[in-house]
């Protein structure tokens, strides 16, 4: 009876299916009250447009809000020179390029002082991880069978196994992601037809197999 230790690997390239869009509204003015009024006006206008299109604005989260003051220097001792402020909203939605373009058009056509950023995610990483680990085990066993056969033995069992740490357990994301294509369902530009960004996920496992 002998043993052979083999690392198995599995990779899969999958398209992201969720996106987190941060929309940041900005304003400048002479007083904090002036800046807050400008930001609130823009934010309410943006939310009103989304609501009129059928977006569930109750699913939108306020991510950040702040004010900053530029104060006087020794050469300009009048006090506050200017005030700036911003408020950020977080939209969690299913991923589609047309939705990003649609939000961009809302900002542009309504001349909002806003910018946006997008991050991407997968809806169920843990399920994908488990599937890849299964494939990694099969890969390790297949390699072990080849090595065992080359010396006239065969694999008869598993002694021990350990995940190599490439992947890790993911907490299931139970957040609600709005089906944003329910409101942006018309293709208005060529970039609406682009494919979703992809990511490559990898898992590995090292297994010691028993041979005889």
CATH architecture of 18-121: 2-Layer Sandwich (3.30)
**What's the sign of the alpha-carbon dihedral 15, 17, 22, 23?**
positive
∠ CA 166-170-176, nearest 5°, is 145
Residues forming a β-bridge with 198? 15
Between 3.90.180.10, 3.40.30.10, 3.30.110.170, 3.40.190.10, what CATH number should domain 2-15+124-172+195-211 receive? 3.30.110.170
From first to last of its 212 residues, the chain has per-residue pLDDT tens of: 899 999 999 999 999 999 999 999 999 988 889 999 999 999 999 999 999 988 889 989 998 789 888 765 555 555 557 889 999 999 998 888 788 888 888 999 999 999 999 999 998 888 999 999 999 999 999 999 999 999 999 999 998 888 665 545 445 555 667 776 666 655 567 766 677 789 999 999 999 999 99
Q: What pLDDT shows up at residue 141?
A: 96
Q: What pLDDT shows up at residue 125?
A: 87
Domain spans in the chain, listed from the N-terminal domain onward: 2-15+124-172+195-211, 18-121
- In this prediction the pTM is 0.74
Q: What pLDDT shows up at residue 134?
A: 94
Compute the distance between CA of residue 156 and CA of residue 160 in angstroms, rounded to an integer.
Answer: 13
Q: What pLDDT shows up at residue 169?
A: 47
* One fold for 2-15+124-172+195-211 and 18-121: no
**Residue 134 has which token pair?**
């299964």
């Amino acid at each position: 009876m002998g043993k052979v230790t083999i690392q198995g690997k599995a990779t899969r390239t999958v398209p992201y299916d969720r996106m987190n869009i941060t929309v940041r509204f900005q304003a400048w003015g002479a007083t904090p009250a002036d800046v807050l009024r400008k930001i609130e006006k823009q934010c309410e206008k943006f939310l009103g447009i989304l609501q009129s299109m059928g977006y569930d604005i109750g699913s939108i989260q306020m991510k950040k809000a702040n004010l900053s003051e530029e104060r006087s220097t020794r050469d300009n001792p009048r006090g506050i020179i200017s005030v700036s402020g911003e408020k950020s909203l977080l939209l969690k939605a299913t991923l589609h390029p047309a939705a990003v373009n649609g939000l961009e058009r809302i900002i542009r056509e309504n001349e909002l002082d806003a910018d946006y950023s997008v991050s991407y995610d997968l809806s169920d990483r843990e399920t994908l991880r488990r599937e890849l680990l299964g494939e990694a085990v099969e890969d390790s066993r297949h390699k072990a069978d080849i090595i065992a056969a080359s010396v006239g033995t065969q694999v008869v069992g598993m002694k021990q196994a350990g995940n190599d740490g490439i992947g890790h357990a993911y907490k299931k994301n139970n957040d609600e992601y709005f089906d944003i294509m329910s409101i942006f369902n018309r293709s208005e530009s060529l970039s609406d037809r682009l494919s979703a960004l992809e990511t490559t996920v990898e898992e590995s496992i090292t297994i010691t197999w028993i041979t005889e």
